[in-house]
Each structure stands twice: as C-alpha cells, then as structure tokens.
Amino acid sequence: MKISLPYLELLKKEGDKAVAICKELNGNNEFKKTVTSTIHDNAQQGVAYKAEHVLLHDIVKIVDDFIKLHTTSNTIETKIKFILVYFYEKLQGKDLSAAYDLPKINQLVVSSQFDKNVSTIRETSFFEPAEILKTEFVLPSILSKIGSDQLLPIGAFLHRIASLIVNADGKINEKEKGFLKQTTHRINHPKIFVQKASVNEVPENDTLEIVLGELNELIGLDAIKKNVEDLTNFLKIQKIREEKGLKASNNTLHAVFMGPPGTGKTTVARMLGRMYKHLGYLEKGHLVETDRAGMVAGYVGQTAIKADEIIKSALGGVLFIDEAYSLTSGGLNDFGTEAIEVLLKRMEDHRDNIVVVVAGYPDEMQGFIQTNPGLQSRFNRYFEFDHFTAHALLDIFKLFAKKADFKLTPDAEEKLMEILDRVYEKRHRGFGNARTIRNLFEKIIERQANRIVSITPITEEILMTLTEDDIPEILKTVKEIILFDEDEE
C-alpha cells in the first residue's frame, strides 16, 4: 500500500506536535530528574535521556504489541514500517517529508534496506525503564507522576499513532478493535513508578458496592468494618446535604491505623481510597505505600525533594506511610523532621486532593502524633487493628489454600489448629498474623510436594490434598514462628 501525500502531511502534523511537546519537556527540570529516576538499574546512568528517547520507546512498544497480536504472520504493513521510521527520524530532527519527494519515499519503503532499518529500530533500546515499567507506556507514566499538563497531549498523540497502526491496511477486525481499546486505556491510565514506594491503582470497572463487598468478605476485623461502614454512611449523607444546598461538616479523612503487622492495615487503606473516589472525595483513589526510606534522604535539602515526589504521586489518592513513627526516631537533627514538615505543608496545600494514612504499633503511633501540633490537628480518625484470633488465622489459612486449589483433611486441620492455638496464646506484639500464616502455608505445601513427588500416578485429588503428614511438628513449629516474629520486630 503506497504512501499518499495526505498521509504524509498527517504524519508531519503529528510529528510537529510531538517535537514541540518534547522540546518543552526537555526544559523542565522536574521532568529530567524523574526520567533519571525511572531508568533501569542496569541502564547507562550517565546518559542524558530526553523526552524523545522515552517517546520512541513507547511508539516502538505500540508497534511491537500490534505485531504480537498477529503472531501467525511475519508480514508488517508498509504503512506501519513507515510510521516507525518516520517518527524515528522526526524525533532526531530529520523530516522525511522534506528530505524526499513522494515517489522517492514510495521507492524507499519497498527496499530491503528499509526493512533492515525497521528491524534495527525495533531492536534498539532507546530507553530502558525500571523493571516495574517494562510492560508499560513510560512517558505517560512519568508525566502522570509529575502532574504535567502535557499528559493529555501525549496520551492523545499515542492514541492517534495506535489508531494509524491498527488501520494501516484499511480495515480493522474485532481483535484489533480490542487491541486499540486496551492500548488507549493503558495510555490514559498509566502506572505510576515511585522509588521506595508501591502504587496500587483502582481496579477497572470498580464500584462502591464492589469495595464494600470486598470489605465484608475480609476475615475478622469486625470493629474495623463497623468503623468503615459508619464513615461511609456519614460521607454519603454529607454529599447529599451539599447537593441540597445544606451546610455539611468539615470532613477530615486523614487517619491513623494502629495495630501489629499482618492485620490488614494496607488492605483497608486501599479500600478507603477506592471508597473515597466513588463517594466523590478523591479524583483517582489510588494508594501509594511508603515508609521512612521512601521519604527521608541522608543529605541536607534532599529529603524535601524526595518527600515531595512521593506526595505528588499520591495526589488524588491515598498516601499510606507505614511505621510512620520512624520519621521522628532519629533525634533533633534527623532529616525525618523535614519530611514531616513537607508532609504537613502539602496536606494543607492539597487538602481537598489527598488523604494521608499513617500506620504502626499503637503506643508508637500515639507518641508520633503527639510530637507535632500539626499532626494532632490533621489526624483525628483512629482505627485500631488487633491480632487475629486462632480461628480467624485458620480461616485465613483455608482462604490461601482455596485460592491455590488445596484442601485440608480433618486430621490435618486438627493438627494445624493446635499450632495456631499455641501460637496465638504465646503471641507478642510483633506477631505477623496473616503474614505468618502465608509463610506457614508455603512451608506446608513444600512438605506436601516432597511427600507426593514419588507417587505414581499422581491424581488431582493427591495434588490438592494436605494431610496430617504435611503439617509440621507442633512444638517445633510454634517455637520457630515465635522466634521468627521476634526477629522481624
């Protein structure tokens, strides 16, 4: 299929837009710093990556993903090859539409050298992102992270490129329509990457009813469920009052989660973010989880930059700071104090666009809040998480087993319950609760594998069944669990 003059003019128009955006981004210091922090550990750290490098990475990704869609064919449409080469040259400062006339371009695209150039471009690593972004569109992710106004223009540009690629042969089937829809969604909902932090996005097609259903399915946590239900009802009524022109209470959504590890604090924080989004209090509802290492640097002036980056990534959602009291554990000259000051200022600057949840052991969290009047005034919702009971721990184990297609025999369940009763009785404040049960579950299925590996034939029933022999010795296991949790603390 030949390249026409209108098609060439369309690419030139899109190319000019892309070049202008890249030029503006390259003059943005925050963008440049974020690009540097997004590269893979093994990438060339000394390379001054520009917006053009990242954009080329994303264009090549669209092409490669589309080619993978047609795994039975090694043929690449002429227009797709030309799109790739055109933007490769354009983003390096060379415009093929100005360098060659139309007949010459149509000669080039059918040459063997042109195919070699296409292969070279597809194999070139223009920008090597961090592992978490390997399968993502990186430029939208970076722009979303820094809150850039160029996110929408770049998203629209990449969507148009994807549309041109899908329509390169002049027709589009249902599979290709699905590809375009999925690609556009991923471009418009980029994954945010933050060093020393994890980001949990709101699931697609999520609703308030889905979140509340998941909350009710959580094992134990009855008091927490009641607190969240009461809060949800209160916020619903406040929204209704606002809609009717009545005065509504000042809603402070920042919260303190107090409790031992493994009791569901992070899980509930994720659900709160989703709920706040569906109730109209947060724009995105995602959760950014971090700790002292994610907010505090070891040099003067660097902590403010580091903390600010984390906080910006959480705008529109929830910032969850685990073991928050460690921010004040280093004494008067510690940089943690600087991180708290940045946090308090940003909470005020963005009071309608971020919810902060601080978490940790009860005593330490109470002391942490009391260290700063600003913390006391901003955090007035307290959620108390307690250790799971032995029966709740057994239910958690059964849930792990069910999800992994395992089941306990009655004798195995009885022996496991004996372990859990003794562990619960001897627990200390650092007991890992659900985390400990996950570790125990993994140990038990390893024992089962060793027991059944020589059995022939291995049936589905044998593969699924955990017997009494798979449960480790009671007293030894209890001792190991208690000692492990003490070490973790």
Contact 267, 359 (CB under 8 A): no
The strand pair at 407-408 and 381-384 is best described as unpaired
**Residues contacting 194, CB < 8 A, separation 6+:** 145, 288, 290, 294, 309, 310, 313
Beta strands (DSSP E) in 255-349 are 255-258, 287-290, 318-322
* Cis before 457? omega within 30: yes
Which domains are present in the chain? 5-192 (no CATH), 208-384 (3.40.50.300), 390-488 (1.10.8.60)
Q: How confident is the model at residue 72 (pLDDT cuts 50, 70, 90)?
A: low
**Cα separation of 371 and 329, whole Å?**
11
User: Tokens 């005020």 appear where?
Assistant: 348
What burial letters (b/e) apply to 89-116, b meaning 16+ CB within 10 Å? bbbeeeebbeeeeeeebbebbeeeebee
pLDDT digits (tens, 9 = 90+) for 142-158: 998 777 889 989 999 99
Task: Check whether 172 has a pLDDT greater than 90.
Answer: no
pLDDT digits (tens, 9 = 90+) for 321-378: 999 999 887 655 568 888 999 999 999 989 889 999 999 999 999 999 998 899 999 9
Q: Give the other-Cβ count within 10 Å of 259's Cβ.
A: 22
- Give the pLDDT of residue 37: 77
Q: Over pLDDT 70: what percentage of the chain?
A: 94
